[in-house]
């Protein structure tokens, strides 16, 4: 009886520990009923930072996390943006001593490797930050919508491994650029 209890408890504890460490747990009705594998995709953030204009400060890091779809009933979150380090939410701020500076940001899709599996809709591809303000990327879901293509969600270990191999071949799925420049309203007077 003790052996059976250990066989049930130990795998459950393993899944719980992996789920909190940047790993996704996927369940299949096969010999390998639980497959745990890292499935996070990087999002590249770039800064054009001329020292005479001001300074960008960034905290934390963010990725696109491919978890099991929630409709499968195992508690998966589906496709979500997550901070790699939860104690440091990703945020970007820019400061300058000049009032003639603006900061523009753009979001674009970099890799098409996963187009067969993911719908990526960039709803708000660009914007502008007010001077000395802070822009928090936990609101990235307001700008980009990512979901699984229902017909291609993996249904077995082999299909999942194909998806995982594609993820491993992606350097960055999205790119976010911040550019500081002199405000155009002030350029005409010089």
Instruction: Please count the CA atoms within 13 angstroms of the CA of 73 that sit on its side-chain side.
Output: 1
Tokens of 122: 């960039």
φ/ψ of residue 139, rounded to 5: -90, 15
Strands in 49-125 per DSSP E: 55-59, 62-66, 79-83, 91-95, 101-109, 118-122
pLDDT digit string (tens) for 35-59?
555 578 889 989 887 677 888 888 8
Query: Are residues 109 and 155 in contact, defined by beta-carbon separation less than 8 angstroms?
Result: no
Rounded Cα distance between 5 and 168, Å, is 36
Give the pTM: 0.74
User: pLDDT band at 9, cuts 50/70/90?
Assistant: very low
Tokens of 35: 């497959």
pLDDT digit string (tens) for 165-176?
888 888 899 999
């Amino acid at each position: 009886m003790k052996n059976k209890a250990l066989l049930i408890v130990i795998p459950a504890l393993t899944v719980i520990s992996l789920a909190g460490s940047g790993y996704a747990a996927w369940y299949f009705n096969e010999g390998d009923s639980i497959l745990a594998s890292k499935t996070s995709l990087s999002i590249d953030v770039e800064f054009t930072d001329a020292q005479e204009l001001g300074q960008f400060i960034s905290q934390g890091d963010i990725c696109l996390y491919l978890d099991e779809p929630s409709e499968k009933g195992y508690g998966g979150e589906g496709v979500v943006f997550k901070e790699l380090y939860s104690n440091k939410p990703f945020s970007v701020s820019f400061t300058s001593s000049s009032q003639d500076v603006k900061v523009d940001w753009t979001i674009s899709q970099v890799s098409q490797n996963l187009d067969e599996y993911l719908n990526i809709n960039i709803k708000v591809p660009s914007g502008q930050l007010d001077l000395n303000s802070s822009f928090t990327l936990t609101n990235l879901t307001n700008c980009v919508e990512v979901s699984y293509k229902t017909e291609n969600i993996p249904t077995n270990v082999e299909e999942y491994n194909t998806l995982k191999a594609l993820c491993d071949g992606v350097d960055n799925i999205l790119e976010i650029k911040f550019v500081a420049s002199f405000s155009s309203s002030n350029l005409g007077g010089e």
